[in-house]
């Protein structure tokens, strides 16, 4: 098959990496093996996104709700994250990738918090792709946090309620200096947002594929981008108004 030609590159791609458990179950393996295989997809997609010149890649690696999973699964996922940060940050750094994280990071184990801080600091001046990891993340919690910060600013007298606009609000989100996602990919066929980037995805194009995350590699990513470039983004306008 000929390689798809990607000419319209989205600035920001966000991914809900779903289906690791089902991938493992279908093979009679424990769920954690699906997560391990899913790491290979993370590597493949990060590299492909970087090569294509995507500016921001946000990966939903662990939701706030995921803390409710069995303890062994949570600690396995934390272990994978630790392994990723220990083994791969140097290479990501060499490739000029800037690492960031969004979510309630203070809930993560202390060693992960320290490793994250170190990785973020080390790559802070990089000018290539931003790899944004959503960890212990909840879209509603992010919106509630922004409202809290705004209320505090009003109480301090730094801000008047009438000055709160959509644009000001976004500055209080974790993603304050990032563009909204142009494309949200969800693997494994589930038709939901699962509390991911709720404010930011107002006009994001959705791409949902039945492919399970461990099977989602470069070819599948290119397919998603190919589909994205066929979409007409009207932002509420009509076709004729677009230039
Ligand atoms: C969803 O599949 C996947 C997760 C909850 C974890 C995703 C994590 C990784 C791919 C590895 C860690 C990532 C980084 C960036 C270090 P699921 O378990 O909900 O699958 P299921 O719906 O089939 O049960």
**Cα–chain center distance at 15:** 5
> For the chain, what is the mean pLDDT?
96
How much distance in Å is there from the Cα of 35 to the middle of ligand 1?
6
How much distance in Å is there from the Cα of 61 to the middle of ligand 1?
6
184 and 205 in contact (C-beta within 8 Å)? yes
In sequence order, what are the residues at sequence separation of 6 or more whose Cβ sits closer than 8 angstroms to the Cβ of residue 37?
A: 20, 23, 24, 214
Q: Where are the domains of the chain?
A: 12-138+180-228
Tell which wins on pLDDT, 7 or 215.
215
Cα separation, 28 vs 22, in Å, equals: 10
Into which CATH architecture does domain 12-138+180-228 fall? 3-Layer(aba) Sandwich (3.40)
Burial of 95 (0-12, 13-18, 19+ CB in 10 A): middle
Q: Is the CB of 39 under 6 A from ligand 1?
A: yes
Instruction: For residues 103-109, give the mean pLDDT.
Output: 98
pTM recorded for the entire structure: 0.96
pLDDT of residue 236: 86
Alpha-carbon distances of 24 from 4, 39, 65, rounded to whole Å: 30, 13, 21
- For the chain, give the percent of residues with pLDDT over 70: 98
How much distance in Å is there from the Cα of 155 to the middle of ligand 1?
40
Q: Is the CB of 20 under 6 A from ligand 1?
A: yes
How much distance in Å is there from the Cα of 174 to the middle of ligand 1?
22
Q: Is the CB of 84 under 6 A from ligand 1?
A: yes
pLDDT of residue 115: 98
**Which of 5-9, 150-154, 190-194 is the least confident region?**
5-9
Instruction: For residues 8-12, give the mean pLDDT.
Output: 97
Residue 1's pLDDT band, with cuts at 50, 70 and 90, is: low
**Residue 24 CA, closest ligand 1 atom number:** 23
Q: Is the CB of 36 under 6 A from ligand 1?
A: no
> H or E stretch including 139?
helix 139-156
pLDDT of residue 238: 85
Q: 185: left (phi > 0), else alpha (psi -120 to 50), else beta? A: beta
Does the pLDDT value for residue 109 go beyond 60? yes
Task: Copy the structure tokens of residue 199.
Answer: 């404010």
Q: Is the CB of 19 under 6 A from ligand 1?
A: yes
In sequence order, what are the residues at sequence separation of 6 or more whose Cβ sits closer than 8 angstroms to the Cβ of residue 75?
A: none
13 and 185 in contact (C-beta within 8 Å)? yes
**Atom 22 (ligand 1): residue with closest C-alpha?**
19
Q: For residue 25, report the phi and psi dihedrals to the nearest 5 degrees.
A: -60, -40
Residues designated as active site: 18, 66
pLDDT of residue 199: 98
- For 120-172, write each residue's pLDDT tens digit: 999 999 999 999 999 999 999 999 999 999 999 999 999 999 999 999 999 99
């Amino acid at each position: 098959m000929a390689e798809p030609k990607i000419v319209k590159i989205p600035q920001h791609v966000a991914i809900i990496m779903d289906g690791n458990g089902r991938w493992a179950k279908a093979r009679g393996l424990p769920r954690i093996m699906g997560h391990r295989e899913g790491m290979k997809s993370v590597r493949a997609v990060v590299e492909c996104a970087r090569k294509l010149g995507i500016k921001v890649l946000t990966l939903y690696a662990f939701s706030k709700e995921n803390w409710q999973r069995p303890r062994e699964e949570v600690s396995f996922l934390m272990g994978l994250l630790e392994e990723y940060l220990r083994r791969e940050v140097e290479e990501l750094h060499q490739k000029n990738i800037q690492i960031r994280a969004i979510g309630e990071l203070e809930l993560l184990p202390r060693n992960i918090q320290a490793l994250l801080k170190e990785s973020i600091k080390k790559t802070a001046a990089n000018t290539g792709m931003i790899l944004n990891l959503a960890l212990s993340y909840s879209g509603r919690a992010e919106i509630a946090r922004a409202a809290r910060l705004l209320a505090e600013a009003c109480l301090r007298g730094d801000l008047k309620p009438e000055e709160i606009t959509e644009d000001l609000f976004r500055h209080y989100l974790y993603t304050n200096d990032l563009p909204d996602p142009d494309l949200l990919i969800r693997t494994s066929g589930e038709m939901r947002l699962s509390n991911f980037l709720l404010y930011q995805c107002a006009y994001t194009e959705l791409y949902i594929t039945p492919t399970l995350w461990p099977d989602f590699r470069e070819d599948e990513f290119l397919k998603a981008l190919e589909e994205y470039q066929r979409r007409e983004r009207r932002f509420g306008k009509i076709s004729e108004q677009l230039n």
